[in-house]
Structure 1
Amino acid sequence: MDIEIVKVFKSLADPVRLRLIGLILEEERCGQELAAELSVAPATVSHHLRRLRDAGLLRERSEPPYVFYRFDHDALRRAVQAVTDRKKVTELTAIGLAADKRKVLESFFDGDRLTAIPSQRRKKEIVFEELLRRIPRHEVYTERQLSDYIAAIHDDFCTIRRELIMGKYMEREGKGGSYRLAPRGHAALVEGC
């Protein structure tokens, strides 16, 4: 049930889908009509309609060769009702974040190896926090030690070491000196437990 509520709100977080709902609210429509009305490709409309349908916000009626869609007001009402409780909102937020993090980690890790360094800031944070959880914990790391631990996960240990410093996950003492977890690094490890 909670996952379905998250799906409803995620599906509404797209301008094209909101425009589709606006058109379907007026009257039942088929995909071709919606594509023409919005001046977007039928495949794009099909994708967005599928997301809305999977979230339970649309009902379909088949009249070959067309499928007509109508908005399910009750589904939206139930989702909105569910988030009127503060405790429920907190639970839903945790579910959404956990699912997003899992998806990012599955995209960038192949078993124990990091396959690529993300370019988007939020994805990079998720990956680096996971990387910190995967290296052995020490109070202080020598540069060689830290490089070896990172190299076991990804070949470009220099870039990752630099990113850990720039992201304030680790602090470096002197040129070629020792490394230690910064407060943000400690917080990431605590959060991951």
Structure 2
Amino acid sequence: MTVAITALSAEETRDRLDELADLLRACVEDGASVNFLLPFTAEAARRFWEAKVLPPLMAGGLILLVAEVGGRIAGTVQLDHDTPPNQPHRAEVRKLLVHPDFRRQGIARALMLDLEARAGAMGRHLLTLDTLTGDKAEPLYAALGYVTVGTIPDYCIRTDGSGMGATTFMYKQLDASAPQA
């Protein structure tokens, strides 16, 4: 299996909204806690990409990476680097998504490593993220060197509405002395 990771422009993102919406919907239906509740429609998934991803992508404050397998979007992750003037060294990892059909194949790890390389090249050496406590992604982040800062109980409603879920906040310091692009 060959995985190709690329950064999508705003125009490319607009052209692939249906594919991105399908990916998001499949992940939410599989239980991903990424801000949505079931039932989750294709229209709501598309609206997310149009309203929450396209504007910062067009403004230049967001990088959207996609992993493709055989021309199909298998996963995505976002690097939000639209930070205040006193935080030019920091960025936030958002919405790591891997389609259920492509899980356990190293795609999430590949996306994260590419994201970290791009962040480092931009001079962003502190990355932060949050994840549902106990979620499948939490051990991946720890294995990649992300440090748990703490958890907040009852942070969100579980995707299936079955109760409240805690969120774990994590960070990683990249090598700030690495050459910058």
TM (normalized to structure 2)? 0.23
**Greater helix percent: which structure?**
1
Work out which structure has the larger RCO, using CA pairs closer than 8 Å and 6 or more positions apart in sequence: 2
TM (normalized to structure 1)? 0.22
